Structure 1
């Protein structure tokens, strides 16, 4: 039996590569005769650069940029000819902050703009920006500021700094990115504003209360007017799928003429996942929490779609499974297994690699036998 393991990271515990190795080790323990191939995956969020680099894409260049709260942080550009890959989470990621240090009112995407600026200096004419996992809710204002935008308020101080904004000048930014193709590799198709917008959907995980969410959305609404204009036609870009990705970084990139692509599709193409799937019998994917957010744009859904195109069953191994069987089937998943269901949350968090490996060994007893 030939098994293709294509997992996302298990946030806070295992990288995508570590998770893949753990699953492969457990599977081989039960079914040593099976061929197990591991392909780490990412959707544009944390791990985007690592996964692409590990697959042999480009060369790495270290840069230092401003973190979400202003402190310098290391970041890495992946340069492949005239194409550069930038991971926004390296500059403004939620993982950079301790739980008690989250500050969504003041967190900025300025460092992402600095990384794009550095990529242009390195000769890039096409820049792919991975979006996801941000600690920010500034609508990409910081990114625009780093590339030369000016306004009648502070663009680099989070949504708090945007209060009262009436005008944003983008001429310098447009000149800086002139002749550069921008691509937003998004992990979600969320618009910027409203009930299904970035602040409402992702604000709580960044530390925004219900009252904060309404206030930030009002500020971003005025910010859209200042950037785009007040008419529905001018504001339409804020409603585009992906405009709300990474706390509104997608909006800023769209304003600069970027195209939006699914991050998982882009990574899958780069690592040759569709071709690999065609030569295997079973696909196994996974992530820390298989839940409602695992739908369109995320690794699990993207890998399942690739498996479907090759008429292969797809399994999910996760830390926790919060998806019912009906929704699971709609996503193209045959079965899902969670570590928490077998060993409890405490054990799963204490030894994630060992427990994931044990879960894979258990699942292999069922699935490998089908091909014997």
Structure 2
């Protein structure tokens, strides 16, 4: 059999590349004659650059930028021809926030990454969005690219109280002639009941009783900058980084579609007999542009069955099939939560061995 292995990262434990390798290791124990094609995946969040490098090759350039914690951290730019790929989570990721305060976290480092890519000669810059610990509407990015205002843009939303005017002209001039693409599957607006703060603020540590005030600060940023753009789909992605990029003329492209195209997933699925995907937690939110749903869609178009291996499976069989997955298998159910976190690669390999007994046929 020919097996296409296309998982996302298992957040906090395995990168997508490590997950694909673990699945392959376990599968080969049971079915050594099967042909395995490894296609690690991402949706624009953490792992975006690594996955594209594995698929496209290119040159990696490491730069030092400001993180949401205020510290300087290394971040990687992938250069393929005249296109540069950057991953916002490398400077504003939730994992970098630590004990920091999302109300004072800025996205300056993402702006520094974009600037470094442009200074390196890129004619097209693709910014992967996802996994952010910031909630500043991308103001820090705008400042790093040269935008000015009558108040601080690089101190997080807590400093927007007196903001009334933002001049984007210097930032737009800095990016003149550069095609800007934001890779994101989040389609929410910047503010309001379904905006960035209300939807994702709590997971970044913004208390429920602070949501309204923080959202109000982003409203002030929007009125000072471009209120119409704040209402566009995707403006609320990555704590509002989508808003800043849209203000600078970025084109929005679903992250999972960008990656599936880059790794030629449709072509590889047609050559396979079975498609295997996976992620840390497989639940109904996977339909919102996450990797398993995107992979399952590609598998369905190729008329190939798709199964999922996950840290946890939190949907029933009916919901699973609505997501295009024939069967899903839980790591925690097989080895227990303690071992799943203590030794994730070996545990995932064991699960793959078990699954291969059912799905691999001579």
- Bucket of the pairwise TM-score, normalised by the shorter protein: over 0.9
* Contact 1:284-1:314 within 8 A present in 2 as well: yes
TM-score (ref. length: structure 1) = 0.94
Mapped to 1, the partners of 2:352 and 2:112 lie a distance apart of: 41
Per-residue CA deviations over 1:229-254 (Å, capped at 9, x if unaligned) read: xxxxxx33222222111111011101
Residue ranges of structure 1 left out of the alignment (5+ in a row): 229-234
TM-score (ref. length: structure 2) = 0.97
**Deviation of the 1:24 alpha carbon:** 0.9
1:293 aligns to 2:275 (yes or no):
no
* Contact 1:184-1:250 within 8 A present in 2 as well: yes
Which aligned segments of 4 or more residues in structure 1 are displaced greater than 6 angstroms?
A: none
Determine the structure 2 residue equivalent to 1:232: none
**Deviation of the 1:129 alpha carbon:** 0.4
Mapped to 1, the partners of 2:33 and 2:45 lie a distance apart of: 35
**Deviation of the 1:222 alpha carbon:** 1.5
**Deviation of the 1:160 alpha carbon:** 0.7
Mapped to 2, the partners of 1:195 and 1:331 lie a distance apart of: 26
* Counterpart selection for 1:163 from 161, 164, 182: 161
**Deviation of the 1:8 alpha carbon:** 0.7
Determine the structure 1 residue equivalent to 2:85: 85
The number of residues matched between the two structures is: 362
Determine the structure 2 residue equivalent to 1:106: 104
**Deviation of the 1:145 alpha carbon:** 0.4
**Deviation of the 1:53 alpha carbon:** 1.1
**Deviation of the 1:78 alpha carbon:** 1.0
Determine the structure 2 residue equivalent to 1:278: 270
* Contact 1:45-1:187 within 8 A present in 2 as well: no
Mapped to 1, the partners of 2:319 and 2:219 lie a distance apart of: 33
Mapped to 2, the partners of 1:325 and 1:188 lie a distance apart of: 26
* Counterpart selection for 1:356 from 336, 348, 355: 348
Determine the structure 1 residue equivalent to 2:255: 263
How do 1:171-190 and structure 2 match up within 5 A? 171-190=169-188
**Deviation of the 1:224 alpha carbon:** 0.7
Per-residue CA deviations over 1:93-138 (Å, capped at 9, x if unaligned) read: 112243xx13101111000001111111111111100001111000
1:303 aligns to 2:295 (yes or no):
yes
* Contact 1:296-1:302 within 8 A present in 2 as well: no
How do 1:29-108 and structure 2 match up within 5 A? 29-98=29-98, 101-108=99-106
Choose 183-192 or 124-133, whichever is displaced more.
183-192
Q: CA RMSD in A?
A: 1.3
